[in-house]
């Protein structure tokens, strides 16, 4: 059924109207929320909280125990999206990994341009450590802009002298705001979600006249030395394919343990379509195994108290 599922999904994504007057950020946010929001999985408890000075959503799958935590940063071009729009995706990843998760409502552009999102990601990460989460018990994940932001957050944490988490997973990361990747142009006919103009508009709102090659805006240009094991998942039918490939290559060149998975015929953040697309469910299962496989379960000092940072 997989090919039929992919064809049906592609047709749905391509049916979204394009062209005409570009909507305002507020209109984009409401439209995005209506299009992709799915509730947290059945049996997953949710709770509003604050982390790093920002609103956040905690998700706790049924039967979860132990200290493992997942910090998630949602996608949306740094302009749209929220923990609510991604509650289903985050909840599914948390459920499959058997982890408690927290999804941060970081500040969005254009009201809060670069580096506001990075500052919020770092503040959330810092508070988790400061309140007793051992980095060996902590993993991160993010999609699209949230994927790039996850890497930028870890770079900022490294520069602040904070320890790295156990692992990080990124889905279709937007990692180059200069739009230098060849697939930004070569995959435009294949991508059912974005055009180059769409992505450029998000970059304009987030960075404006700033340096789009700054390592915290475009991690493909960063020195990634010291980052934790990294899993990158991306679809072959998306403009950001080269962002993912180059990010993985940069990580490998900097001696980071990295796994790159390219899904043939799949669109941007195809993991959002769990339960409807076999590849999405399989990818989330692999991501969950990757994250839990790097947690400190069975570590000889697993019972020691977490340090404060």
Q: What is the pLDDT of residues 195-223, one digit of tens each?
A: 999 999 999 999 999 999 999 999 999 99
Q: Which of 74, 86, 214, 268 is catalytic?
A: 268
Q: What is the pLDDT of residue 21?
A: 74
C-alpha to C-alpha distance for 256 and 154, rounded to whole angstroms: 13
Active site residue 74: no
Q: Which residues pair with 260 in a beta bridge?
A: 232
Percent of the chain with pLDDT over 70: 94
Question: Quick one: tokens of 187?
Answer: 């995959």
Q: Which of 74, 82, 86, 144 is catalytic?
A: 144
Percent of the chain with pLDDT over 90: 91
C-alpha to C-alpha distance for 48 and 302, rounded to whole angstroms: 29
Cβ atoms within 10 Å, residue 260: 16
Q: Which of 4-8, 50-54, 105-109, 245-249 has the lowest mean pLDDT?
A: 4-8
Question: Quick one: tokens of 213?
Answer: 């090659």
HSE-up (13 A, CA, CB side) for residue 75: 24
Q: What is the pLDDT of residue 22?
A: 82
Cβ atoms within 10 Å, residue 308: 8
pTM: 0.94
pLDDT at 17 over 80: no
Secondary structure (3-state) at 297: coil
Active site residue 60: no
C-alpha to C-alpha distance for 265 and 10, rounded to whole angstroms: 9
C-alpha to C-alpha distance for 255 and 226, rounded to whole angstroms: 8
Mean pLDDT of the chain: 94
More confident site: 253 or 18: 253
Q: What is the pLDDT of residue 19?
A: 58
Active site residue 82: no
Q: What is the pLDDT of residue 233?
A: 99
Question: Quick one: tokens of 80?
Answer: 């749209």
Helices (H), 67-115: 87-97
Q: Nearest-CA neighbor of 125 among 80, 172, 163, 167?
A: 163
Q: What is the pLDDT of residue 205?
A: 98
Of the pLDDT bands very low, low, confident and very high (cuts 50, 70, 90), residue 122 is very high
Q: Which of 238, 273, 279, 294 is catalytic?
A: 238
pLDDT at 309 over 50: no
Report, as an integer, the average pLDDT of 3-8. 92
Of the pLDDT bands very low, low, confident and very high (cuts 50, 70, 90), residue 2 is confident
């Amino acid at each position: 059924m997989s090919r039929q599922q992919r064809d049906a999904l592609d047709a749905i994504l391509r049916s979204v109207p394009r062209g005409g007057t570009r909507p305002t950020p507020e209109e984009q946010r409401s439209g995005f929320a209506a299009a992709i929001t799915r509730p947290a999985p059945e049996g997953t408890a949710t709770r509003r909280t604050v982390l790093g000075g920002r609103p956040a959503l905690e998700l706790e799958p049924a039967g979860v125990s132990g200290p493992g935590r997942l910090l998630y940063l949602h996608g949306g071009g740094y302009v749209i999206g929220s923990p609510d729009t991604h509650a289903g995706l985050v909840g599914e990843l948390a459920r499959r990994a058997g982890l408690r998760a927290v999804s941060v409502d970081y500040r969005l552009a254009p009201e809060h341009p670069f580096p506001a999102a990075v500052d919020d990601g770092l503040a959330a990460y810092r508070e988790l450590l400061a309140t007793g989460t051992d980095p060996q018990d902590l993993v991160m994940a993010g999609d699209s802009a949230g994927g790039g932001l996850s890497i930028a957050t870890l770079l900022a944490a490294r520069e602040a002298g904070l320890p790295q988490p156990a692992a990080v997973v990124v889905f279709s990361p937007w990692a180059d705001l200069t739009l230098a990747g060849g697939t930004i142009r070569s995959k435009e006919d294949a991508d059912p979600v974005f055009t180059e103009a769409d992505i450029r508009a998000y970059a304009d709102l987030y960075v404006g006249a700033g340096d789009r090659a700054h390592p915290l805006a475009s991690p493909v240009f960063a020195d990634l030395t010291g980052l934790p094991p990294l899993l990158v998942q991306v679809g072959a039918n998306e403009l950001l394919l080269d962002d993912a490939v180059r990010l993985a290559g940069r990580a490998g060149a900097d001696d980071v343990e990295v796994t790159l998975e390219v899904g043939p015929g799949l669109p941007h953040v195809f993991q959002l379509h769990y339960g409807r697309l076999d590849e999405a469910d399989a990818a989330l299962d692999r991501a969950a195994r990757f994250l839990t496989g790097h947690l400190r379960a069975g570590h000889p000092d697993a019972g020691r108290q977490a340090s404060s940072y």
